[in-house]
Amino acid sequence: MKSITTALLALVFAFTSINQAQARNTLCSGKMGGVSHCSAEGKFVCKNGKISQSKKTCH
């Protein structure tokens, strides 16, 4: 019985960790609508027309 409880707790912990990792911010997340394209300067342009504040560059 104890091994079943331990296994269930391990599964709950694994799924909780996955959900927290997916919750992080990404380029142009939220109201920005996602990435539309790259600008000539190598910056990400969001679907709402704004430039992403990310320090990452694109080509």
- Written as tens digits, the pLDDT of the chain (59 aa) is 878 888 776 665 665 554 444 556 688 888 889 999 999 999 999 999 999 988 999 98
Q: Give the model's pLDDT for residue 19.
A: 47
Domain extent, residue 29, equals: 2-46
Judge whether 54 lies within some domain. no
Write the CB contacts of 49 (distance below 8 Å, at least 6 apart in sequence).
Answer: 36
Question: Contact 45/52 with Cβ under 8 angstroms?
Answer: yes
Please give the model's pTM, rounded to 2 decimal places: 0.56
* Number of separate domains in the chain: 1
Judge whether 56 lies within some domain. no
Q: Give the model's pLDDT for residue 16.
A: 56
Count of all residues that appear for the chain in the document: 59
Judge whether 10 lies within some domain. yes
Judge whether 51 lies within some domain. no
Q: Give the model's pLDDT for residue 21.
A: 47
3-class SS string, the chain = CHHHHHHHHHHHHHHHHHHHHHCCCCCCCHHHCCEEEECCCCCEEECCCCECCCCCCCC
Token look-up 């019985």 returns 1
Q: Give the model's pLDDT for residue 26.
A: 80
